[in-house]
């Protein structure tokens, strides 16, 4: 790999990141498998049984799992920042930008909330159906459609076969939804202030934000680490969400300054080594910088022939349906949950089928409708100039 600027690669690939679709698919599958493991080790694994021949992965967490798992969410937010910034530069309107984001995220989320509440909850609830469908918590659950995360359904405890009472949230995987709303709102404000179109203005915004994140890192590093992935039940944005917001705008920064960002083999090696910084709370920002660089490099790998990528963008559906499907199978067929990999094998085809339906009958038709309604902004990413002020070139729409 020779040293080359991000802008040069963007020009060579026509303004796109060919590896991101495959990377998003991989991350969504990894997240699904991880949730299957969480279900198994929550309900079935006897961690304190000395006679157990199982290996407790939590015992290995500090050794190898922490750097990997801590990098998943920042990688996804960094990708979103890169791609969404291109959309913001094309549309040049906060109203149209937010409309695009709503059309992309709301329809599949609406379908998932309806399926989990009406079908899944109706099958798994311990309450009479007449009580379940009129329960206040059932109606409150639909607030998930506007990213006000509601974790439980009435009478649904995904644990009826477990010895001790333990319950996993139905919508635990939506813990990051308020953060997505936050970054979109901030980016919309930057569009209205025209700061996204000025490299100088955005540089100072990102510099001040980086200083804020570094200050929290030094003063209270524990606050930046979420104690639970299910710990964001409302629109409130805790300090633990700041690293992900930072990752998103790191993507924006890379896009706007693509002519200054270089990709090289040595950079990749150093970034992989720097993932070790995820092991310590005091250095997590350095780990985030490393995973952002690795994600950027993978984004330019030509992975368009990766399995499933050619047939559609199934990452959103896999992310949305992986946890509810695994929880349902674990509850209805407890034998599957006796091993995390058996549960994973059972969960994967059902989740892929639902993701297939979501893409071909919801997400793709909405995308085609968007192209028909706003044809003027459906073009490659605009050329980024090297001037201090403008990031809109002659090819901007």
Q: Is 382 within a domain?
A: no
Q: What is the CA radius of gyration of the chain?
A: 22
pLDDT at 318: 95
Q: Are 329 and 36 in contact (CB under 8 A)?
A: no
Q: What pLDDT score does 228 carry?
A: 37
pLDDT at 202: 96
Would 167 be classed as within a structural domain? yes
* pLDDT in the model for residue 192: 95
Reading the block at residue 65, the tokens are: 């799992």
Residue at 258 is within a domain: yes
First and final C-alpha spacing in the chain: 33
pLDDT of residue 166: 39
* Sign, Cα dihedral of 80, 104, 306, 255: negative
What is the rounded distance in angstroms from the CA atom of residue 170 to the CA atom of residue 175?
11
In a domain? residue 391: no
Q: Is residue 195 part of a domain?
A: yes
Blockwise average pLDDT, block size 10, the chain, 397 residues:
87 83 91 86 56 46 63 92 91 90 92 92 89 92 85 71 44 79 93 94 94 82 51 45 91 95 93 86 86 93 76 90 91 84 94 96 90 62 39 36
389 lies in some domain:
no
**Does residue 392 sit within a domain?**
no
| pLDDT tens, residue by residue, 88-103 | 998 889 999 999 999 9
In a domain, 17, yes or no: yes
Domain count for the chain, please give it. Answer: 1
**For residue range 237-258, what is the model confidence (pLDDT) as tens digits?**
455 678 889 999 999 999 999 9
Range of the domain at 157: 4-48+56-377
Half-sphere exposure of 269 (CA within 13 A, CB side): 5
């Amino acid at each position: 790999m020779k040293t080359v600027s991000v802008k040069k690669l963007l020009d060579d690939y026509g303004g796109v990141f060919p590896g991101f679709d495959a990377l998003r698919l991989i991350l969504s599958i990894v997240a699904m498998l991880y949730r299957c493991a969480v279900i198994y080790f929550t309900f079935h694994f006897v961690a304190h049984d000395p006679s157990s021949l199982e290996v407790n992965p939590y015992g290995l967490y500090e050794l190898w799992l922490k750097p990997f798992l801590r990098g998943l969410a920042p990688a996804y937010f960094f990708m979103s920042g890169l791609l969404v910034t291109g959309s913001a530069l094309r549309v040049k309107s906060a109203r149209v930008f937010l409309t695009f984001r709503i059309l992309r995220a709301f329809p599949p989320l609406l379908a998932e909330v309806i399926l989990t509440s009406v079908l899944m909850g109706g099958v798994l609830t311990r309450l009479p159906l007449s009580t379940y469908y009129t329960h206040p918590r059932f109606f409150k659950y639909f607030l998930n459609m506007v990213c006000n995360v509601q974790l439980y359904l009435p009478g649904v405890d995904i644990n009826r076969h477990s010895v001790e009472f333990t319950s996993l949230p139905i919508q635990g995987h939506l813990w990051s939804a308020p953060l997505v709303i936050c970054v979109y709102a901030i980016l919309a404000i930057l569009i209205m202030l025209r700061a996204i179109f000025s490299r100088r203005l955005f540089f100072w915004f990102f510099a001040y934000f980086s200083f804020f994140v570094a200050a929290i890192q030094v003063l209270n590093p524990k606050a930046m680490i979420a104690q639970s992935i299910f710990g964001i039940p409302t629109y409130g944005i805790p300090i633990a969400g700041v690293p992900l917001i930072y990752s998103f705008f790191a993507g924006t920064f890379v896009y706007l300054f693509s002519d200054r960002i270089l990709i090289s083999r040595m950079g990749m090696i150093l970034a992989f080594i720097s993932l070790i910084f995820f092991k310590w709370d005091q250095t997590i920002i350095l780990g985030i910088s490393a995973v952002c660089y690795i994600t950027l490099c993978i984004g330019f790998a030509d992975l368009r022939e990766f399995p499933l990528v050619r047939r559609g963008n199934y990452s959103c559906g896999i992310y949305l349906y992986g946890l509810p499907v695994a929880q349902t199978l674990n509850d209805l067929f407890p034998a599957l949950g006796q091993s995390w990999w058996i549960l994973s094998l059972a969960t994967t085809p059902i989740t892929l089928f639902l993701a297939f339906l979501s893409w071909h009958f919801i997400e793709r038709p909405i995308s085609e409708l968007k192209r028909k309604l706003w044809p003027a902004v459906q073009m490659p990413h605009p050329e980024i100039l090297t001037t201090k002020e403008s990031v809109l070139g002659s090819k901007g729409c």
